[in-house]
Amino acid sequence: MPSSPPEQQNALALRAPSVGAVCPVDGGPVQPEPEFLERLVSARRLIILGHHNPDGDALGASLALALALGEMGREVQVGTSGKIAPNIMFLLEGVPGLCREFRVPRDLRPEDWDLAVFMDCHGPERVWPDHAGEGFGFLPPYLVIDHHVHTEPLSGCEGLFHDPEASSTGEMVARILKALRAPFPPQVLEAILAAIASDTGFFTQANTTASALRETADLVGLGGDLEGVNNKLNQSFSLARMRLLHLSLGSIELFRGGQVAAMFITSDMLERSGAALEDSEGFVDFPRAVKGVALAALFKEDGRGRVKVSLRSRYPVSARAVAASNGGGGHVLAAAYTCHVPTCLEAREIFLAGLGALFQDDGERGPG
């Protein structure tokens, strides 16, 4: 009898649950435990925080959960740190006062909240990375909802809903809201669709699983406007962004026999184009699209003596392994880290020197 295709075997395999998560016996997606849900809804005042420089998944998932809990009578605030990309700012329309910036951890007064929820990251270190060494013992009790692989122990976390096989944290929020029988008003639908679409490259990447597509179909069936989300995410860019893209594309260079691509965003490019660094969301996909490239790196000077590095790879090359070797993290095919040098050129040389035996024969390829 022929064996099942690999993706079918994966779909049927039982996955080991994380704390706060249950694996259904039919091999379906991981679900939140009743105890996790009870801890979530028992709080009356909640602060929901995504990772630093929130992307579409972090912001969309946070807003969707906040809006739904607000409909259930809870007092909820969404907190951010860093910059929000212009193409996802539409998610904040119509919700004045729901979202505010917490520049430093001490901006968050623990007496104001019964519970914190960290979204699309494993805790406060990812919300305030520049303050990770200061300790966060003063924060209120917190839960974590995340789909990233965690390589560091979680301390202080009272509950964890974790599914590394989920396409996005937004997909996991949809499961939570269904389990709570929570409402799905239009803004919640839009926020979750934006979260899933953002993290799957609008359903073009390897994490576009059957579960993600089923969840998306359910959301569309409830009235979600997928075309509208696409127009807002991908068809509403500023002229400054286009000028920055023009300048940045001219910097692409290939290495390692054409298998590694590097692309720059320098301070000079930002000044000439009139764009901001957050306008570069998604640029790293362009060097990865070059035929033969297995690993692409976008180097971005942040004007503070550092270079932000975004990585995209094709299987079996692991962007996550490369990022982890430089103090960062992320997913297998999409990851990031910060290089503490002032120029893209210096960061690129460090990156290339650190690749080591990247192109091995078998398995998930990473520095070694």
Q: Tell which residue, 51, 58, 60, 52, has the closest CA to residue 232.
A: 60
Alpha-carbon distance of 68 to 226, in angstroms, equals 19
Is the pLDDT at 7 greater than 90? The verdict is no
Point out the domain boundary residue: 234, 253, 276: 234
Is 363 a domain residue? no
Q: Specify the pLDDT at position 153.
A: 60
- Looking up residue 271, the CATH number of its domain turns out to be 3.10.310.30
* More confident of the two residues 129 and 365: 129
Rounded (10°) CA dihedral 120, 6, 322, 326: 40
Is 361 a domain residue? no
Is 367 a domain residue? no
* More confident of the two residues 245 and 205: 245
C-alpha distance from residue 229 to each of 90, 194, 332 (Å): 9, 6, 26
Both 159 and 39 in a single domain? yes
Q: One-letter amino acid identity for 177?
A: L
For residue 266, the enclosing domain spans: 239-353
Upper half-sphere CA count for residue 241 (Cβ side, 13 Å): 14
Q: pTM for the whole thing? A: 0.83
Is 198 a domain residue? yes
Yes or no: say if 41 and 34 are a contact pair by the CB < 8 Å rule.
Answer: no
Q: List pLDDT tens digits, range 59-110.
A: 999 999 999 999 999 999 999 999 998 999 999 998 989 999 999 998 988 8
Is 343 a domain residue? yes
Yes or no: say if 339 and 307 are a contact pair by the CB < 8 Å rule.
Answer: yes
- The number of distinct structural domains making up the chain is 2
Alpha-carbon distance of 86 to 274, in angstroms, equals 14
Both 86 and 14 in a single domain? yes
Q: Residue 155: which pLDDT band, with cuts at 50, 70 and 90?
A: confident
What mean pLDDT is predicted for residues 29-33? 93
Q: List pLDDT tens digits, range 223-243.
A: 999 999 999 999 999 999 999
Is 69 a domain residue? yes
